[in-house]
Amino acid sequence: MQESKAPRFSVMIPAFNAETTLAYTVDSVVNQTFGDWELVIVDDGSTDGTLALARRLEAGHDRVTVLTQENRGTGGAYNTAVGAARSDLLVILSADDYLLPEHLERFDVFIEENPEADIFSCGGYLEYADGSRVEQTLTSHWPDAQGCTLTDLFTACFFGVGAIFRREVYDDVGGFREDVYTEDYLFWLMALARGHKHRYLASPLAIHRMGQAQKSADFVKMRKSKADNIAEVMRSGLLTPAEMRAGRFMLFKVGVLLQLARMGLRTSR
């Protein structure tokens, strides 16, 4: 039987103990105004009803594929998803976040308009438990709002919900590390260090749900991981002298923030 044509986008959802949020996240993909996509869900050794729920969702949608594996962390789940995905445009989406309906449609056009770029992200909202939303402002730290450089990324990572990258970026970087806490941040750092270009779609098209159980809620561990990742990319031998100076400055700044946090003087950044 002839293999079907690859979709324009492969959306990838790593799911670990996500039975309370996964259905809503999947619905946000199924309800996109752009129809040329597939969805790969990787159950990462969940101990609740996540896998059973994912199987039910798979049965209801012919473009949804569910895989399961022993727990390997988010990086391992993304690596498995990339291996199963058929598109050259790969979309990352946590199992408790979601896309707004025009996300893929807007990116379809935006990617065509920016053929020189390999990594794409958009604006979005932080959503709190009471349903209120605050638009994220990470781009305010970039000199050029059209895209993020490696030096910019040291200061403020772009909003990663629904971010898209070409498969060649994944191959060049060597996939997501499975032994680090913030595997996506290290992936972006290494991609930009290797010369891949980022472009920013200046519209809020995705939602990040804020919750105490998320990685991003652990201030000290997040900052420590950020420093470790910056130090690793600095050891790669890929950085320019200016990028190395920026990296050293950020390591100093993160060190100060960690000291303040340990003294109970936590700051917002």
| DSSP secondary structure string for all residues of 89-130 | EEEE--TT-EE-TTHHHHHHHHHHH-TT-SEEEEEEEEE-TT
Report the C-alpha gap between 161 and 97 in whole angstroms: 7
pLDDT value at residue 265? 52
Q: Which two tokens stand for residue 192?
A: 């930009």
* pTM given for the model: 0.91
Write the CA distances from 142 to 111, 137, 158, integer angstroms.
Answer: 21, 10, 10
Backbone CA torsion sign across 140, 144, 145, 147? negative
Q: What is the pLDDT along the chain (269 residues), one digit of tens a residue?
A: 446 799 999 999 999 999 999 999 999 999 999 999 999 999 999 999 999 999 999 999 999 999 999 999 999 999 999 999 999 999 999 999 999 999 999 999 999 999 999 999 999 999 999 999 999 887 777 888 899 999 999 988 889 999 999 999 999 999 999 998 889 999 999 999 999 999 999 999 999 998 745 554 576 788 888 999 999 999 999 999 999 999 999 999 888 877 777 776 544 44
Judge contact between 180 and 97, C-beta under 8 A.
Answer: no
**Hey, how many other C-beta atoms are within 10 angstroms of the C-beta on 148?**
26
Backbone angles phi, psi at 133, to 5 degrees: -125, 145
Judge contact between 208 and 161, C-beta under 8 A.
Answer: yes
pLDDT value at residue 269? 46
Q: Which two tokens stand for residue 99?
A: 């896309």
What CATH number matches the domain at 9-212, 3.90.550.10, 3.40.190.10, 3.10.450.50, 3.30.300.30?
A: 3.90.550.10
Q: Which two tokens stand for residue 149?
A: 């450089």
Residue position matching structure tokens 């199963």 = 84
Judge contact between 37 and 7, C-beta under 8 A.
Answer: yes
